[in-house]
Amino acid sequence: MVAVDLNPVIVGVAEAGVETTAIEFVRADARSLPFTDEAFDAATCSLALHHFEPDDAVAVLRELARVVRFGIVVNDLIRSWHGYAGALVLSRLATRNPVTRHDAPLSVRRAYTRSELDVLLAHAGLRRLAAFGLLGVRVAVAAERV
């Protein structure tokens, strides 16, 4: 298994927190992955796509599609008014951390709707196979190359 993040601090924290050699940690830009075509069976993008503007999100999805043999799974937030309200309330109740209090509702505001996610997948040359949601605030989408 290979885990990728662009931020060297995040990669370092991840490496320090895992006591196995079964995971390789790589510092890389998801828009330009340092792996050969079809290097992996599958890939996932978990709670990160909403951090990318649409063109960059398409680039990430294209790269994921390029490096897999079978397909990808995208797990992310869904933009909705109730998701935003929930993030706002829960971030205030669960923590005093100002970064979390700011980032949680902002992440929901930046997230894509399900239809926008379908458009991003299509622009990346992917076809949605299945989508599973959680209370209209999260979604997991399985997709394959067209």
Is residue 136 scored above 90 in pLDDT? no
Domains in the chain, CATH or no CATH each: 31-76+113-145 (3.40.50.150)
Is residue 23 scored above 90 in pLDDT? yes
Mind listing the pLDDT tens digit for each residue in 70-101? 999 999 999 999 999 999 999 999 999 999 99
Tell me the torsion sign for CA atoms 24, 29, 31, 37. negative
Confidence of residue 21 (pLDDT cuts 50, 70, 90): confident
Instruction: Say if residues 44 and 105 touch (Cβ distance below 8 Å).
Output: no
CB atoms within 10 A of CB 102: 11
Question: Three-class SS of residue 140?
Answer: strand
Cβ within 8 Å of residue 45, ≥6 positions away: 30, 60, 61, 64, 72, 73, 74, 75, 76
Is residue 135 scored above 90 in pLDDT? no
